[in-house]
Each structure stands twice: as structure tokens, then as C-alpha cells.
Structure 1
Amino acid sequence: MRTQAPAPAYDGRSPFPHAQQRLGLHAGQVALTATIVIAPFIALGTGIWLAWGRGITLTDLLLAALFYIVTGLGVTVGFHRLLAHGSFTARPWLRVVLAVAGSMSLQGNLIDWVAAHRRHHTFTDRPGDPHSPHRYGNHPGGQVRGLAHAHLGWLFSSEPASATRYAPDLLRNDPAMLRISRAFPAWCAASLLLPFAAGWTISGTLYGGLTAFIWAGLVRVALLQHVTWSVNSLCHVIGERPYTTRRHDRSTDLWPLALLSFGESWHNGHHSRPDCARHGRAVGQIDPSAALIRLFERLGWATNVHWQAPDFLQHHRAVAGKHTLHIR
């Protein structure tokens, strides 16, 4: 009887095994994902058309900024640092508030989000990583295709991360998070209807509600989605790598995205110690998410916060130094 030869070890350069395989996609999943991705772009075109010759009102800009900050921090502080990595312990009411705010980003229900992210850390830039830009190899053509996959294509994959395997703590021991996760469609509706209601109330006109729905609702969702997806894609190809990470891990620090991502683009710092509450590890690296966690700690709303050790910078500098481009 012939035995199957073991799969060769990943060399860090080749395409992932089965990367070229076509995936059988569920039609409903594709339709829902496509709607969430495409609708905000249609709204952007509509918003530009409506604003032509009139401009965008201050109300729309302020509402867009408000909802961007609330939902963005819900993802970075709530979904990511609290739920995915346990960087701190939050009071139950704060845990719920952050989970709801993150759910209103329209990036998927929180349990699936956490499971996918934990899987990413388990197999960073190796076979098994759901959104590595190195999936198709490190030659230029493979990198371009890999960036498209890491940024958006992976959302249409029929290989979702198993919540039973990667998020059993939330499934079995956290009924509040399970209820919030199951109510994801309601949070999506609220994320779009609240700006509409606020715009209508403030302006006193239906037109004001419509423009707020477009700019503070759909366009805001699109911007936050693409900033988050850029951490998956760009922050594994372009940027600096000052800290030591695991073999094949190509996470980078990309400063232009730091403010828009609330500190998430200090991705190499994050991968060097995933449970740390602060991702911007060096002096001068702005990290609004860490600042908010610090505020929660001072108010007594967050405990057991994992901050970096004072000697972190001396012990975790990458031997190879800094690199600005990682296409090989």
C-alpha cells in the first residue's frame, strides 16, 4: 500500500498549497458580502452627485467623524485588543458597549471576526492564514494578486475560521457576546439608521437625513472597512519591521495609517507581542486605542491591562534592522 508523502515545509517564498484552487462559494454568503462591500461605494458616488455645487454640510462631516470614531474604536479596542487578544479586562457593561460599537462597523459578527483574527495570528503569512498577501508567492505578480486577496478577496472565501476552534471562550462562556454576535443584522441597521435619524433631527429636513445616511452611514463604513483591510494587506508588505516576530511573519509598521486605524497599523509592534494593549511601541508612535484603554484603566473600568515591559525596545529589536519594502 503506497503511503502519501508528507507535504513539504513552507519555505517562505512559494505559493501556499492549494492557493490556486477554486473555492465553492455559498450564493447567499457572496450576495451578502458583495452588498456590504459595494453599497458604500455606490453611496459615495451618490453623495458626490448630491454635493455637486452645494458641498458637504458641517453636520454630515461631524456625524461621519463621530460614527467613524465610535465604531472604529469598537473594532480596535473591543473586537481586537479586548476580545481577540485579552489585552485587558473590561467591566461587563463596557465589554457590551465595545462589542456593540464594533458590530456597527459592518465587518462581520464579533465571534467570526475574532475567530478569523486568531487564525491569522496562528498561521501568520503561512498556509492557513486567511488573509496573507503572500498567499500566491513572493514574485511581483504573486504579490499583486496576494494584496488583492488580503485586502478584499478573502472575504469571499468558503473556508471561514472555525469559531469552535478559535473562539470557544466566546461561544461557550460568554452569553452576552453570543447574543450580540447573533444580533449582527440589527447592529448593521442601527449603524445606518442612527445617522439618518440624527441628520433629519438636526437639519429638520428629510434631505438632511438622506445626506447624513450617505456620508455618516455608508461612506463612513466604506472608509473604516478599507482602513481595516489595509492593515491586513499593506501592513504585511510595505513598511518598517523594527521588532522580532515569528518565522515567515512579515508584519510591518506603516505610519501613514496610524491615525485613521487608531494605532492598528503599528502592526509589527503588535505581532511582536499580540496581547499588549499598546501597538505603537516606540516613542512618538501615536496609538489612540491605547490612549483610550489607559483612560478606561484610570477610571477603573479596565483592569489587568497588559502594557509593554520598560526594557521592551532593548530586547526586541529585529536583528536585520529596518526595511521599507518587502517584495521578494
Structure 2
Amino acid sequence: MSMQLDRAIPAELLVNPSAKKSITIKSDYLRTPQRLHALALLWIPLLGSVAALAIAFYSGIGAVEIGLLVSMYILTLVGITVGFHRHFAHTAFQTSTAVRVILAILGSMACEGPLTYWVSNHRRHHQYSDRPGDPHSPFFQESESLGGLRGLWHSHIGWMFKHEITNTFLFTKDLLRDPVISKVNQLYYVWALLGLAIPTILGGILTGTIMGAISGFLWGGCVRLFLIFHFTSSINSITHLCGSRPFDTKEHSRNNIWLAIPTGGEAWHNNHHAFSNSAIFGLKWWQIDFGFYVIWVLEKVGLVWDVKKPTAQMIESKLKAKNN
């Protein structure tokens, strides 16, 4: 996605006012930069990861590379799960403008598209989950039925190249009307490049070498993007195909314990669909949910408030409804 994408949408809607009510915008002009972005997100991290592993095979890997990978991964994962998803997409908690901006920037550094693009696709996913209209269901591509490996591929990667652009005016009007967040959204490429520049610069400073800067770019940039992209995409694909379903949510969302830690708690996906506006996804004590732990800490220090959580009675009621 490019900055021009979000700027072009209002003009598109002005030309055809009825399009304001459509869930998608049919425009090859808008789809072209989106597809180019998808190609870059798919191939640059992959090739960079291959290069990083090749260099590590011959030269080894040190604390700087591991530290940059882990720290950048955690920061951008927080941006996605706490910022883009729980706060902006579902308003699961309230916070200040400053924290909103930080979360929006961290999420943008994951390079999964501008804030309004990400949030509009996710809200559309919830409205049409696993039905025609869901942008990344493993069971449908637009109105075409899918399944098996074809559905897995579509929900994990293929949808990025084939989906019609979600109407951000319809799904993210609240974000577009916020002047500060709208500006952060328009500067998406600045934040994406910043996410690559930070580990590159730190790698050079910490090692005092050009090779350290290259390693910082590869491990804190490319490898980190490769991992966070595929773990995030696994929520679209794997957690709609594999795992448990404690709640009858009328679609195919599932809890997957194996993906819980690397996704920051996102893999408790059936829980999330059962209580979509909840800030907490891990509803049992043993369901690790790092995203909520971050929110809990921020709440304790007064940086977030009005944190939404289902009560024990609400959870029990939905469990009984399924069993009955």
C-alpha cells in the first residue's frame, strides 16, 4: 500500500457517492500499489532472511543480532496486537493521543499496510467472517468456495494479491476523522522505513562496523519482518482451520496453543471472536496472552483505561449456550 492509496479513496467516493455504502472499492489504480506492497512484503524479508542465515552459517551469530531481532519483533508485535488490533480495530481500551500515536507507529513498522487499511480489512473480516465478503477466509475467495490447501494458501498469502480494496471510508471513518491518526496513517512509508533503519543504525553503532549495520538490517529488519508476517498471517489461515472451539461463534475461528506465544496471544482466536471487543484473549489462567500483559501494565501505570474484559458470567453463559 502507498500513501496515495488512502488519499485517493475520498476522490473515488466523490466521483461515485453510492460507493460510500459499498464494502469494497473496485479500482485497478488502487489495487496496483497494494499488490506491489504485497510483493515487497513477501519477497524482501524472505530474501533477507536467506542472506542472514547464509552469513550466520559462515560467520556465526552474536548477541547483537539476536537482541535486535527479539527487541524489534516484540516492539512491532505490540504495535500490531495491542495497537492495530485491540485498540484501533476493536476499541478494547482507551488511551491518550500520545500512546495512540506510538502504537500506530509501532504497528506500521511491521509493514503490514497503513493503519486504516489493516483495520478496515479486520473489521470487514469480523462482519463477514468465513462468508463471502471476508477478505482472507480459507473457505471463500469473494463468492468462490475454497478449502484444503488452496484455501490455506489464499488465507495466508494469496488474498493480498486478489482481494478488492476494502472501503476505508465505510469501515474506518472514526480513524479518518481523527486528524492526528490520519496524519500518522499517511506517513506509513516513513514508519516502515524507520523500522528498518533503527536496527541497521543500532547494529552499526553497537559493533562499530559496516558489517554490523548490515547484520542489524538483516536480523532486526528482514528476519523480523519475515517472522511477524507469517505468524500474523497464521491467524488468518491456521487458526480458522486447526485448534479447539470452546465457543460457538458461527464461523470457524479456533484456539491454537502452539501459536499463542509468537503471536502475542492472538492465537486464542475463538476466544477473540466470542468476545471481539475484549482486551484479553487468553480467558484461562494458562492461556498466555502477552498482548494483554502489556495492556495490564499500561493500565497499572495510568496510561490506558476503560479496559474491556468479559465477566465470568458472560463466559459461562456462552459456554453453556454451545453445550446446549
TM-score of Structure 1 vs Structure 2, range by shorter chain: 0.7 to 0.9
Q: Distance in 2 between matches of 1:177 and 1:195?
A: 25
- Preserved CA contact (<8 Å) 1:24 1:158: no
Q: Is 2:234 the counterpart of 1:207?
A: no
Residue aligning to 1:255? 257
When residues 142 and 307 of structure 1 are mapped into structure 2, their CA distance, relative to the original with a 3 A threshold, is closer
Residue aligning to 1:75? 80
Task: After TM superposition, list the pairs within 5 Å mapping 1:272-287 onto structure 2.
Answer: 272-287=274-289
Greater per-residue helix proportion? 2
1:100-126 per-position Cα deviation (integer Å, ceiling 9, x unaligned): 110100000001100000000000101
* Paired amino acid for 1:187: W
Specify the SS of the correspondent of 1:311: helix
Residue aligning to 1:5? none
CA RMSD of aligned residues (A): 1.8
Residue aligning to 1:13? none
- Preserved CA contact (<8 Å) 1:199 1:211: yes
Residue aligning to 2:149? 144
Q: Distance in 2 between matches of 1:318 and 1:83?
A: 31
Q: Distance in 1 between matches of 2:110 and 2:34?
A: 18
Q: Distance in 2 between matches of 1:281 and 1:205?
A: 47
Unaligned runs of 5+ in 2: 1-26
* Paired amino acid for 1:225: F
When residues 30 and 319 of structure 1 are mapped into structure 2, their CA distance, relative to the original with a 3 A threshold, is same
Residue aligning to 1:161? 166
Q: Distance in 2 between matches of 1:125 and 1:193?
A: 38
Residue aligning to 2:298? 296
Task: After TM superposition, list the pairs within 5 Å mapping 1:316-327 onto structure 2.
Answer: 316-317=318-319
Residue aligning to 2:68? 63
Unaligned runs of 5+ in 1: 1-22, 322-328
1:160-192 per-position Cα deviation (integer Å, ceiling 9, x unaligned): 1110110100112x1111111110111111010
Residue aligning to 2:229? 225
* Paired amino acid for 1:128: G
Specify the SS of the correspondent of 2:166: coil
Residue aligning to 2:308? 306
Q: Paired residue for 2:35, among 30, 36, 44?
A: 30
- Preserved CA contact (<8 Å) 1:40 1:219: yes
- Preserved CA contact (<8 Å) 2:138 2:146: no
1:258-297 per-position Cα deviation (integer Å, ceiling 9, x unaligned): 0100000000000001000101112210101111111111
Number of equivalenced pairs: 294
* Paired amino acid for 2:283: R
Q: Distance in 2 between matches of 1:292 and 1:270?
A: 17
* Paired amino acid for 2:134: D
Q: Distance in 2 between matches of 1:205 and 1:318?
A: 61
Q: Distance in 1 between matches of 2:118 and 2:141?
A: 23
When residues 318 and 60 of structure 1 are mapped into structure 2, their CA distance, relative to the original with a 3 A threshold, is farther
Q: Distance in 2 between matches of 1:147 and 1:200?
A: 40
Specify the SS of the correspondent of 2:271: helix
Specify the SS of the correspondent of 1:238: coil
Residue aligning to 1:40? 45
Q: How far did residue 31 of structure 1 move?
A: 2.4
Q: TM-score, normalised by structure 2?
A: 0.87
* Paired amino acid for 1:86: T
Residue aligning to 1:243? 247
Q: Distance in 2 between matches of 1:114 and 1:277?
A: 16
When residues 126 and 264 of structure 1 are mapped into structure 2, their CA distance, relative to the original with a 3 A threshold, is same
- Preserved CA contact (<8 Å) 2:260 2:266: yes
Specify the SS of the correspondent of 1:222: helix
Residue aligning to 1:121? 126
Q: Distance in 1 between matches of 2:247 and 2:163?
A: 33
- Preserved CA contact (<8 Å) 1:136 1:142: no
- Preserved CA contact (<8 Å) 1:270 1:279: yes
Residue aligning to 2:101? 96
Residue aligning to 1:326? none
Q: How far did residue 307 of structure 1 move?
A: 1.3
Q: Distance in 1 between matches of 2:88 and 2:294?
A: 16
Comparing 306-315 and 287-296, the one that deviates more: 306-315
